[in-house]
């Protein structure tokens, strides 16, 4: 089976400052005295190998800080891995950070066209789908309100509605559904099921065990940047819970 995503020996390193330099004067003093700020190497991911077949639904699970969101950003092309590479076959609709890609001084209406352009959609295509986006998001009465005045739930509604109005090859969702109300979460789950039935690959990061088991066929458990388990979502959740003492 052809893969939607192939992750080959991916590692990601960040540099963390040990000491904080609060002013240019302090920086010069430290340079003169030889007491410059040092940095620690932090490996957020280490030697990740993972293939996600086309049409699959894969959850990334693990505790906070385990590297899940970092891996999603690498798959989406937002971050470049320090080592290794990722091959993506198809178009991606990423829902990684709440409000990502929005201009908060623009209205909901304006952000629909801005986000559409970012995703590579034409203005005419967005015009054709505008009413459907508004209907799904249930934000028609707020379409001319700047999104800086939207709640987190409203931002999630708008972002999800834009990302899924046209069937992407790969849909990436990172905890965005957690901020919506229960009714809208159910609505989003149904939309994802419809996309998956049409062949869309879904990659989900969630701390909700129920969402993982309901939406995803498979799961990868990441712990402190290391891939611990890949397989059936139920088995992955069981392995993670056993390790965590749940």
What is the pLDDT confidence band of residue 144, given thresholds at 50, 70 and 90? very high
For 166-193, write each residue's pLDDT tens digit: 888 999 988 766 666 778 888 888 888 8
Burial (0-12, 13-18, 19+ Cβ within 10 Å), 120 = exposed
User: Taking the model in full, what pTM does it have?
Assistant: 0.80
For 34-70, write each residue's pLDDT tens digit: 665 555 688 999 999 999 999 999 999 999 999 999 9
Residue 25: pLDDT above 70?
A: no
pLDDT at 177: 66
Domain range for 107 is 3-244
How many domains in the chain? Answer: 1
Provide the angle, in degrees to the nearest 10, between the axes of the packed helices 152-164 and 108-118.
40
pLDDT at 184: 83
Nearest to 94 by CA among 171, 4, 164: 171
Give the CATH number of the domain where residue 46 resides. 3.40.50.300
Do 89 and 169 meet the contact criterion of CB atoms below 8 Å apart? yes
pLDDT at 189: 82
């Amino acid at each position: 089976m052809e893969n939607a995503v192939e992750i080959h020996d991916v590692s990601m390193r960040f540099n963390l400052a040990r000491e904080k330099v609060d002013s240019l004067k302090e920086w010069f003093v430290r340079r003169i005295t030889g007491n410059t700020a040092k940095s620690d190497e932090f490996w957020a991911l280490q030697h990740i190998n993972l293939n996600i077949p086309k049409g699959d639904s894969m959850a990334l699970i693990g505790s906070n800080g385990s590297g899940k969101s970092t891996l999603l950003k690498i798959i989406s092309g937002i971050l470049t891995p320090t080592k290794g590479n990722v091959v993506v076959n198809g178009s991606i609709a990423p829902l990684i950070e709440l409000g990502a890609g929005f201009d908060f001084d623009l209205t909901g209406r304006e952000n629909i066209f801005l986000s559409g352009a970012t995703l590579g959609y034409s203005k005419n295509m967005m015009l054709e789908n505008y009413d459907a986006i508004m209907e799904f998001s249930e934000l028609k009465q707020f379409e001319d309100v700047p999104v800086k005045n939207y709640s987190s739930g409203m931002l999630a509604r708008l972002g999800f509605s834009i990302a899924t109005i046209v069937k992407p090859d790969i849909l990436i969702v990172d905890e965005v559904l957690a901020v919506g109300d229960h009714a809208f979460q159910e609505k989003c789950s149904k939309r994802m099921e419809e996309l998956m039935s049409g062949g869309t690959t879904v990659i989900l990061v969630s701390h909700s065990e129920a969402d993982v088991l309901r939406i995803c066929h498979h799961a990868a458990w990441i712990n402190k940047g290391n891939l611990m388990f890949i397989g059936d979502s139920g088995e992955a959740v069981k392995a993670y819970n056993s390790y965590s003492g749940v």
